[in-house]
Chains A and B, each alone.
Chain A
Amino acid sequence: MENNNEWILSVLTFAPLVGALIIMAIPKGDEVFHKGFALLVSGALLIFGGGFLLTEFDFDRADEMQFTYDTSWISVINSRYIVGIDGMALPLILLTLLVVPLCVIYSWDHFPEPHNPKAFLALILILETGMIGTFVAEDLILFFVFFEVVLLPMFFMIAVWGGEDRRYASLKFFLYTLFGSALMILAFLSLFFLAEDTAGNALRTFDIQALTEWRGANLSRSAGLLIFGGMFMGFGIKVPMFPFHTWLPDAHTQAPTVGSVILAAVLLKLGTYGFIRIAIPILPEAAVEWAPWIGLLAVIGIIYGALGCLAQTDMKRLIAFSSVSHMGFVMLGIATLTTFGINAAVFGMVAHGLITGILFFVAGSIKERYHTLEIKRLGGLLLQAPRMGWILGFATMASLGLPGLAGFWGEFPAILAAYQPANGLSEAVFRTYMVVAAVGTVLAAGYLLWLLQRTAFGEPSEEFAKDPNIHDATKFEYVAWAPMLVLIVVLGVLPNLLFKTSDPAVEKSLHPCLIAEEADLAALDCPAVFGVEVAGG
C-alpha cells in the first residue's frame, strides 16, 4: 500500500483528452502529423500505461481496489473523485487501451467520407477518455459522467461519418441511451437519499465501494426493486438487451468501420460492466428477484438475435445482430449471479470485443473493396483476397464459440453456470434457459457459417470477378488485426490469464449468501430472498 501509484489511472483517463485537445490545436493541413500524434498518444498509453498496469497490478490481491485515488470533487452532494481498478475492471481497461490504437492504425488510409482526420481522431481520443473513465470510476456520479461522455463522440462519429441513413441512426442511438441514462441517474440519486445503515444513519454517499459494503441493508424491498429497475434500464439499453436492442443494428450499420469496432468492442461492455460493478454488488437482494427476468430476456436475446441474423441480407447488419445474441450469453452468465457465470461474462465481454471487432474490421475492408455488403452479391472472397478470407473464417469460428479460441470461454461457462444458479434462484427456470442457450449455439454456427459460405466460398460473382480494386489485406490492416487475432488464440488456449484475474474480484463483488455452499448458508444469517428457509427446512 505504501506505493499506490495513485496517479496512473487519472493519467490513463485524461491523457487521451489532452491528446485530443492538442490535435485540435494542430493546423488542419498536416494530416500525417494528426495521425501520427493520435497513434503516438494511444500507442504510448497502450505500451506504457498498459504495461505499467500489468507489471504493477498485484494479481494476488485482484479482489481489492488498486491504484486508488480519492479526493473531494462535488462536495455539496458528497460526490468524490474516486478511481481504482480490481481484477474485474483491469481486463476491460486493457481491452480499451488495445482497441483504440488498432483503430487509429486501421483508419490510417481508410478515413471515411467526409475525410477529416483531425476531427475523427480527436473524437476517438475523447471516446477513449470516456471509456477508460467509466471502467475506473468508483463513484456513481463520476461513473455517470464518463458514461455520458462516451455518447457525444459516438453520436458525431455516426452522424458525420456514417452511411446514408446516419442521421436517423445517430439520433436513435443518442436518444435511446440517453433515455436509459436518465433512469439510471434517478436510481443513483435514490440510492444517495435512501441508503442508510442498520443503525438508521443516512449514508449520503455515491462511493461504489461504500455502497457495496452496505449491500442494500435496511432498504425496503420495493425501493430496491425500483432502483435496480432504473439501473437495469440504463445498463440494459447499453448492453443492449432484448427488447431494447433496436438501436444497435442501425447504429452499427450506419457507423463507420472504426466506430462499429469501438462500439462493439468497448461501448457495449459499459452496460454489462455496470451490472457487475454497480447493480448486482450494491443491490444483491433486488438482483435475486430481477435475475430470472434478466435471464429470460438474455436467452430470448440469444435465440432472437440468432434468428435475426439468419434473416439479414447485409453483412454488417448480420454482425450487429450477432452482438445481440452474444451479449445474451454474457447477460445469461450475469443473471446466474454465480462466480462461474460472472467470470464467464467478463471473459465473454473481452472475447466478444476482440472477435466482433475483427468481424467489423473485415466487413469494413470488404465494403471498401466491393462497395457493398449485400451478402448475395459477394462470394469468392477466398479466391480474390485469400488471407482476408481466412481471417474472416477464423473470426467466424471464434465467434461461434469454438473451443480453443476466446469465444468459447464466454459461452460455455455461462451455459454451465445456468445449470446451478445462485442461491435463491429457481434451478428449473435456469436449466430451461441453459438448454435454450445451448440451442442458440447451433443457430450461431448456422448463421456464421452461412455467412462464411456465401461471402468467402464459391466463385466471385461476375460483377466483381475482374475488379482491380479488390486486393488482399494491406499492411495497415495486418498490423491492426494481428494483435486481436493473436489474443483470440492466446486467451482461448490459456483462459486462466483472464479467469485468474477476474475470479477473486467477482467472488468479492457477490453477496456471500449468493454463492455460499448450502451447508454454510445457515451460518451466514441470510435474508429470506436467498432461499435459506428452503435450505434450512
Chain B
Amino acid sequence: MVTKNSQIALYKKIDRQLLEKTRINLDPSLTYNNGIETSVIEIDEDIIAINEKDEQWAPDDHELTVNLGISIEEPYRLYGRNSVTSQQNELGIACHIYSKESHFQKTVPVGIINNTRDGKYINFSYVFPKSSLRGNVYLEFYIYLAEIREEIPFQANKVGMILTEENLYDLELIIDGDGSVFPMTEFEEKDGPLWKLEKHWVDANDAIFDASNVNLSLNTSHPLFEQVKKGKTRISRAMMGDIMIQAMSQIIQQVIIVENNDIEADDTYPNSVLAAVKYWIETFEITDTSSIFSISNTLRKHWERKLMSGVSEDD
C-alpha cells in the first residue's frame, strides 16, 4: 500500500535511494496446473491480461498461483538508528491483494527480512482457488514492521506499520477480457434509435466501469446497425467514432460537472468509472473540463487525428 500524498508520515520511511542501496531484485511469474503439467505464464509487464498470454487458463477450471522470488542483497541497510528501524526489531514483506469485482481484499505476510550482512532470498507463492476471481485483481507488495523490541524516536512504533514510501512491486491481473473495452451491448427495438447510453452508477469512484454501471447499447434492428458495427469504410468508422465521442463526453460531463468528482483525488479505484474519466481526460488532454463544449471539442480533435492516421485512400 502506498501512503497517499495527502497523508504525512510522522516516521521514517524507505525511500527510493535506500531501496536502491538495499539492492532488491524481483522475479515474478504465474503458474497453474493444466491437468497434465504445470504451465508457466511469464510476467513481463506490471499489467497482465492472462488470456492474452495463455488462452488455456480459465478462471472456473484452474487455480492460479502468483510466484514472486525476492532477493535482498544488503538487508542490514534497513536497520539502525539512521535507517527505518532498530537493529533489535524485525522487518517483513507483505502483500495486499484486492479486487472490487471479485469482492475481496486481504493482506498476507510474504516473509521476514532479517538484519544480516548476508543476502536474503524469499520465495513467495500465493494460490487463488479456482472460481474465486473475476474482473481485475491487484497485488501490492510492501515492507512493514513485523516485530518491535525497541522504539526509536521518529521510527515506526507499531507492528504492521507500512515502511515503504512506494510499493516494492505492483501487479495487476486481468481475469476477464483484455481490460480495455468500453462497455457495449446490443438491444433490439424496431423503429428505435441507433444507440442509447445508460447510466446506473451511484458513486463514480465506487462503480466498476462495466456494462452494469454504464452501458452504450446499439440497436440491432436499426438499418445502419450492420454498417456501424462491422463496417470497414471511412464513413462507418467515423460514425462509430462519433458515437464513442458523444458517449465519453456525456460520461465526463456527468462525472465532473454534474457530480463534481475530483479527478485529482489520491484514492481513485483503478477500474472505476471515475478512473476511466481520469484516463480520458489525461489521454485526450482535456485541459478545460468546465463545459460540455470544450470536453467534446477536445475529444473530437484527438479522435480525428487518430482516425485519419493510417487510413488509406481506398477506404
User: A and B: real partners?
Assistant: no
Residues of B within 8 A of A (CB): none
Residues of A within 8 A of B (CB): none
